[in-house]
Amino acid sequence: MEPAEGKPRYARHSRAGAAAASIATLALVLGLTACGGGGESSSATEPSDTFPVRVVTAEFPAKQQLGETTLLRLGVRNTGEKAVPGLTVTISVGGKEGRDSSLPFGYRDPQPGIAQPDRPVWALSAGYPKANGSTEPAGAETASPKTFDFGPLKPGKTLQAAWKMDELHAQGRHYSDARVEIGLIKFWGAKVLYNVIDRAIQVHGSLGYTTDLPLESMYRAARAARIYDGPDEVHKVTVARQVLKRYKASEVPTEHVPTRRKAAELKFADYLDQAAVSS
């Protein structure tokens, strides 16, 4: 971790002279490094300058439990005599996989041929990052999802920012929204796989049901997919429980329309009869 009394870092950024502080975070292990970041200008006419900044705070828990709320805290001080026009913070998981990923809290799977190789390690909670004890979100979005723009920083001032990962929910039980999506894909994906192979067999007729084609072995494997990773019914119950936890039971309202309608019909029965005879 960068010591608070270490030498100041100098950041040179050509985009309106913005200073950047970068963090390399090792997945699941504390490993924070603060350094001056740089970038290429999108325009040759944009001014550039050098601003000294120092990382005075860099905190991240060394260990996390599965589904635990995690806070990353960063403090950056402008140690120069000029205001920094735009302070940006770039976050990346440590290692080549983290640097290659487009996600700030994710890594890129090195396996070839994957449609979406970026894998999140943590999910950033809504409304974060936040700066200097403010309740409002800070760190405006930039062209890169890994970079957060905190705006100007005056001389001698310190930016204190926090990122909250994997926002949890009520009743003190640690679970995340990802459990719902995971449960859904487990039974829905197996069902889609089964239906696709079933239609392929139907298209090929009796030939598709023989060992002359691989469809019959694929059919058996697809049917087993609805069992070996947990029966569909178990995943459906899990999803239902997670979704229903977000709601509170409510009493039946006293202004129940069907009940009031029945009472009104009894009260005004004579008038209704007269109206029916008159019509």
Which pLDDT tens digit goes with each residue over 204-237?
Answer: 999 998 999 999 999 999 998 888 888 889 889 9
Which pLDDT tens digit goes with each residue over 96-123? Answer: 888 888 888 888 888 777 777 887 777 7
Q: Taking the CA atoms of the chain, what radius of gyration do you get in angstroms?
A: 29
DSSP state of 120: E
Can you give the pLDDT at residue 44? 52
Q: What is the pLDDT of residue 217?
A: 92
Query: Is residue 199 predicted with pLDDT exceeding 90?
Result: yes
Can you tell me the distance from the alpha carbon of 33 to that of 122, in angstroms, rounded to the nearest whole number? 18
Task: Check residue 138 and give its pLDDT.
Answer: 83
Residue 51 tokens read as 């601003």
Confidence of residue 68 (pLDDT cuts 50, 70, 90): low
Does pLDDT of 175 surpass 80? no
Give the per-residue pLDDT at 197.
95
> What pTM was computed for the model?
0.49
Instruction: Report the half-sphere exposure of 39 (CA within 13 A, side-chain side).
Output: 23
Domains within the chain, CATH numbers bracketed: 9-165 (no CATH), 178-244 (1.20.140.10)
Residues 161 and 218: their CA atoms lie apart, in Å, by 52
Average per-residue pLDDT for the chain: 74
| Sequence-ordered alpha helix ranges (H) in the chain | 96-100, 178-204, 215-224, 232-244, 257-267, 269-278
